[in-house]
Structure 1
Amino acid sequence: MKALRDELLLADVGKVKENEPLAHHTTIKIGGPADLFVEPKDVASLKKTMEIVKKHGAPWRVIGRGSNLLVSDRGIEGVVIKLGEGLADLVVNGTEVTVGGGYSLIKLATVISKQGLSGLEFAGGIPGTVGGAVYMNAGAHGSDMSRIVKKAQILFEDGTIEWLTNEQMEFSYRTSVLQKKRKGICIAAVLHLKQGDREAIVAAMQKNKDYRRETQPWNYPCAGSIFRNPLPHYAGKLIETAGLKGYTIGGAKISEQHANFIVNAGGATAQDVLDLIDHVKKTIYDLYGIEMETEVEIVGRK
């Protein structure tokens, strides 16, 4: 790792840190250290980072704002690359929006709504970056990224950069081709929106944001929804009906506000959360015969 670190520093790719606690970079405030943590200053630096990482044969993964992510207490082996301000360009051309993978989704929804562009109202209140939202086809309120992504620019592990069309992204419920087949980084996306009534769009987005604030525990560190909805059932309703609201293991607690959220009530470890997830899975299966599947991404050393 020292040779890899030294080469990244020499290449001046951006911030490079050793043993950086990932609890500082996840919304649930949990996570052990990354062997190496890199925040590239632009797309060229990201590409250079990937070249150096591949040359050294080191494992890698990308994070954005750290939502929808549970990092092991033992941290992540290899290199963690954070998409931040260096990949946060925004260009609005009529109803077409080109935006960097590191751009905040909440900020984008707010900026776009004020310009009278419709299509991102559902994203009001969804934490994370545009790149992460494309990667997992983030959605809410009956819509998701697949409805508005025209194409996505992907940096693949071999250093090639491709524009993938909506069809090539193979979007489905909370997933995309980047999770299923082709490991890559969404560095930009072109969104196709519609011109609409500015006041109505802002009001709709604010309503969605307020709804999330009222029904979800954003006053505590959390990772977002823990389980995928086992349609036609809803994860939160199943967990609530099973009487698990408020159930606690260590510092991890099933939210009393919304049962599909596990909050860090103070000093929670990743193992506390994992134990709570297992307890929910077993309880729901024993009661209803339904197998619960996690939506939150669980990563890091076992």
Structure 2
Amino acid sequence: MNQEIYETLCDICGAESVFVQEPMSRHTTFRTGGPADVLVTPKAEQISRILDVCRKAGQPWTVIGNGSNLLVGDGGIRGVVLEIGRQIAEIEIDGTSITAGAGAMLSSIASKAAQAALTGMEFASGIPGSLGGAVVMNAGAYGGEMKNILKEVTVLTPEGELQTLSVEELDLSYRHSIVPERGYLVIQAVLELQPGKPEEIQAIMDDLKEKRVSKQPLEYPSAGSTFKRPEGYFAGKLIQDAGLRGFQVGGAQVSEKHCGFVINRDHATSADICNLMDQVSGIVFKKFGVRLEPEVKKIGEF
């Protein structure tokens, strides 16, 4: 990364928003990953200019949110990483509609929805991700998913144009949307909820929180459910039945509390986690003939 590009990014975002050789372990919930050449935390109106700089300089770019579904290689990420976070996290409520920036945390949106007596987003209250990432992968939990509450999404196209897409145009299905396929970058989304009773909404959120705390290894760094749910099966049950509870590679471990989670048990590297995932997938396939696919997205150099 040359000095001219660095200075240009500082001119666009301010030097306080540009980080050189930034450890990605600070930006992922796995707490692993090597350095990004440059990481920027832009405001929405700065993104198009940053991408233009990257194009003209022939620099690759990578967009991340809260890093809650990412495994970044120990070699880090070349080029420019755009972290869509607190700079793009506004939340506005109008009647039953909520308009929020892509960097807004799902937990924050769900909390504001509850305060406004709006129901429908309780399922997302404990998901440790941002709205943008949730749209990209149609995040879901406890029987709810984003496609049930999304109305429309504003994206930046690869050509630098803003487009508003309806929920139907996003082609949402299990852990899928057209956003990554088209190279779109989520800027904001509009959610449509329903009127509810604050005490009932809070009761549901409290119940789901209790389920998470009691059943998930929240005390260790992880990326949530590590594998997608195979059709007709549960990944955690297959892993458990394969005798892999507590299975460990280096500092990475199949959680003893919930076998669907791979955790950073003890200063794991991304290579440890990747190796563990590969071994678990291979053993489950050998025993049950079911191929586990990662829900976690791998980026960077491994």
TM tier, shorter chain? Answer: over 0.9
TM score, norm. by length of structure 1: 0.97
Query: Residue 241 of structure 1 corresponds to which residue in structure 2?
Result: 241
CA distance in 2, matches of 1:172, 1:28: 25
Q: How many angstroms apart in 1 are the aligned matches of 2:214 and 2:36? A: 34
How much has 1:62 moved relative to structure 2?
1.1
User: Partner of 1:154 in structure 2?
Assistant: 155
| Cα-to-partner distance string for 1:68-107 (whole Å, 9 max, x where unaligned) | 1100000011111111111011110000110000001111
Tell me which amino acid in the other structure corresponds to 2:13: D
- Which deviates more, 96-105 or 109-118? 109-118
The aligned runs of 1:246-261 (5 Å cut-off) are 246-261=246-261
Output the CA distance in 1 between the equivalents of 2:13 and 2:61: 19
Identity of aligned residues (%): 41
Match of 2:109 in 1: 108
Give the counterpart of 2:27 among 25, 28, 39: 25
AA at the equivalent of 1:241: D
SS in 1 for 2:182: coil
Kept after mapping to 2: 8 A contact 1:32/1:72: yes
Provide the C-alpha distance between the structure 2 equivalents of 1:56 and 1:158, rounded to a whole number of angstroms. 16
Question: Equivalent residue for 2:173?
Answer: 172
Contact (CA 8 Å) 1:54, 1:157: kept in 2 or not?
Answer: no
**Residue 11 of structure 1, CA deviation:** 2.3
Alpha-carbon shift at residue 142 of structure 1 (Å)? 0.9
Distance of 2:184 and 2:210 partners within structure 1: 34
Alignment of 1:277-296 (within 5 A): 277-296=277-296
Query: Once the 2 structures are TM-superposed, how far is the Cα of residue 35 of structure 1 from its aligned partner?
Result: 0.8
TM-score, L = length of structure 2: 0.97
Offset of 1:57 from its aligned partner? 2.1
Deviation at 1:44, TM superposition (A): 1.0
CA RMSD of superposed structures (Å): 1.1
Amino acid at match of 1:143: G
Q: How does 1:211-230 map to 2 (within 5 A)?
A: 211-230=211-230
Residue in structure 2 matched with residue 197 of structure 1 by the alignment: 197
Q: Where does residue 45 of structure 1 map in the other structure?
A: 46
Larger mean CA deviation between 234-243 and 46-55 belongs to 46-55
Long gaps (5+) in structure 2: none
Describe the superposition over 1:239-274 as per-residue Cα deviations: whole angstroms up to 9, x where unpaired. 011110100000001000110111111110011011
Q: Which residue number corresponds to residue 64 of structure 2?
A: 63
Shift of the alpha carbon at 1:6? 1.6
Question: Could you tell me how far apart the structure 1 residues matched to 2:293 and 2:277 are?
Answer: 10
Distance 2:118 2:125 in 1: 13
Distance in 1 between residues matched to 2:293 and 2:168, nearest whole Å: 25
Structure 1 residue 213: Cα displacement: 1.5
Q: Which residue number corresponds to residue 12 of structure 1?
A: 13
Q: Deviations over 1:105-147 (max 9, x none)?
A: 1111112112110110101210010011001100011110011
- Partners of 2:197 and 2:13 lie apart in 1 by 45
Q: Any stretches of 5+ residues in structure 1 without a counterpart? A: none
- The amino acid across from 1:259 in the alignment is C
SS in 2 for 1:11: helix
